[in-house]
Structure 1
Amino acid sequence: MGGFFSSTTNESESHDESESDYDKYEDIMEAETTGASWETAQQDKLEYSDKYGDIMEAETTGASWETAQQDKLEYSGPAASEKMAEMDAGKMEKYKTKILNVADFFEIDPAVIAAIISRESRAGNTIKDQDGWGDWNPKRNAYNAFGLMQVDVNPKGGNHTAEGRWDSEIHIQQGTRILVEFIDKFSSWPKEQQLKGGIAAYNVGDLKVESYGNVDKLTTGGDYSNDVVARAKWYKENFSFE
């Protein structure tokens, strides 16, 4: 489950910001444009990796044994993460355009978004029968998370209000907005470490990410950021986002 609130925003502030970003996103996505010319584009040869670090340079130990047991794998580590990412690739195809649109807007590598979707909902496979809801909480008698990216709606967790359909571009936009806000929390870290810290915080909140050395100490399975990074590397190398 992901999508905790940032430690420096309260519910009303975060909700207002969400609405502002939503309107901004909608306006931009609906505007007609022919885009930049080739000459203009060459003035600034920025890649996704320039803003939030290069996912291929991020360190990873991959999936824990606990996480690997989701697919009853007999091994853990990066190979397990890669196998699970590959298993989800076919289902991920239907969301490719939506992922790309959101990635372009936030200037983040689409492979990172795909990796979180793979980890959180197995590209929708684990939540499709519950209309996108996941992580049932018997104490609350309610689900804790929503959508492909399993945005945290638990009042004692992220306390977000779900936006859009569970498999919509608006939902992916909400989850990615939460992610990049967390990445920015670790701006004093080197870029690839900052990216990894933000991914871990997406799962547990930034206050529970104690240090880079213990980035996954409190995350689900003790491996959340390491697993997501390994899955993202697989998508970067093997999944066409064109």
Structure 2
Amino acid sequence: MVPSAVFWGLVALIGTSRGSYAHSMNPQVYPRHYHGCYGDIMTIETFGAPCDINNLMNCGIHGSEMFAEMDLKAIKPYRILIKEVGQRYCIDPAIIAAIISRESHGGVVLQNGWDHRGQRFGLMQLDKAHHPIGTWDSKEHLLQSVGILTEKIKAIQRKFPTWNPVQHLKGGLTAFKSGMGTIVTPEDIEVDLVDDVIARAKFYKRHGF
């Protein structure tokens, strides 16, 4: 659960900030309902952000959508860039937007592109072990990050060929955050992070990503 003071601080910060990247391409170039090569997220069931005794209001699908909406203003300037990179790698742009929302709130909580511990970098928060390239909100950063995400999905496809497409996508999302070594059984991909990302992605799909 996000502590009350931190939560409302995020509300204020996200509501008044936006990323530094601006893109002027015509948004109509990219089809609104493009969903890439890894299934239609709108058909995937999700529980949203996790709920527990200390977090009964800002959780579930409502909680995920609430945070996604808070981040929408900061992420909108990247929409065309996200769609361009999504099509390059055949990844649903809404998934990219959802990861950006969950990991960096559109970049507004970063310090010179880094998280508060100095371990993860950029809009999609790549671990420094990946040797991030480009500036934190650049096309180079998104190309590298989404490229790694697709590599993880394909690695899951190879490792678990009998899994279905939804499991492959969920496995890739899990591996992007936690590494391949954490995934042994289907239960390992039914994690809070994946449910939250899918719920946010559905929100962003409905808002033009």
Indicate the TM-score class for this superposition, using the shorter chain for normalisation.
Answer: 0.7 to 0.9
- Rounded to whole Å, the distance in 1 between the matches of 2:126 and 2:34 is 23
1:233 aligns with 2:208: no
- Rounded to whole Å, the distance in 1 between the matches of 2:98 and 2:104 is 10
- Rounded to whole Å, the distance in 2 between the matches of 1:88 and 1:75 is 15
1:81 aligns with 2:64: yes
User: Which of the numbers 122, 125, 148 marks the counterpart of 1:150?
Assistant: 125
- Rounded to whole Å, the distance in 2 between the matches of 1:124 and 1:216 is 27
C-alpha contact 2:170 2:190 (8 A) present in aligned 1: no
Runs of 4+ that moved beyond 6 A:
none
2:135 maps to 165
Aligned residue pair count = 174
> What letter corresponds to residue 56 of structure 1 in structure 2?
M
2:152 maps to 182
- Rounded to whole Å, the distance in 2 between the matches of 1:94 and 1:163 is 20
1:204 aligns with 2:178: yes
1:132 aligns with 2:100: no
1:29 maps to none
Unaligned runs of 5+ in 1: 1-46, 137-142, 154-158, 218-222
C-alpha contact 1:48 1:107 (8 A) present in aligned 2: no
1:60 aligns with 2:46: yes
- Rounded to whole Å, the distance in 2 between the matches of 1:181 and 1:215 is 16
Give, in angstroms, the shift of residue 48 of structure 1: 4.4
After superposition, what is the alpha-carbon deviation per residue over 1:100-131, rounded to whole angstroms, capped at 9, x for unaligned? Answer: 1101101111000000000000111110xx11
- Rounded to whole Å, the distance in 2 between the matches of 1:135 and 1:213 is 31
> What letter corresponds to residue 197 of structure 2 in structure 1?
V
> What letter corresponds to residue 201 of structure 2 in structure 1?
A
Give, in angstroms, the shift of residue 65 of structure 1: 3.6
Give, in angstroms, the shift of residue 216 of structure 1: 4.6
> What letter corresponds to residue 44 of structure 2 in structure 1?
A
C-alpha contact 1:102 1:173 (8 A) present in aligned 2: yes
1:110 aligns with 2:79: no
Unaligned runs of 5+ in 2: 1-32
**Structure 1 residues 212, 57: CA separation in 2 closer, same or farther (over 3 Å shift)?**
farther
- Rounded to whole Å, the distance in 2 between the matches of 1:185 and 1:48 is 23
Give, in angstroms, the shift of residue 193 of structure 1: 1.5
TM-score (norm 2): 0.77
Give the RMSD, CA atoms, in angstroms. Answer: 2.2
Give, in angstroms, the shift of residue 183 of structure 1: 0.8
**Structure 1 residues 183, 48: CA separation in 2 closer, same or farther (over 3 Å shift)?**
farther
> What letter corresponds to residue 168 of structure 1 in structure 2?
S
- Rounded to whole Å, the distance in 1 between the matches of 2:116 and 2:47 is 25
TM-score (norm 1): 0.67
Query: Identity, % of aligned pairs?
Result: 42
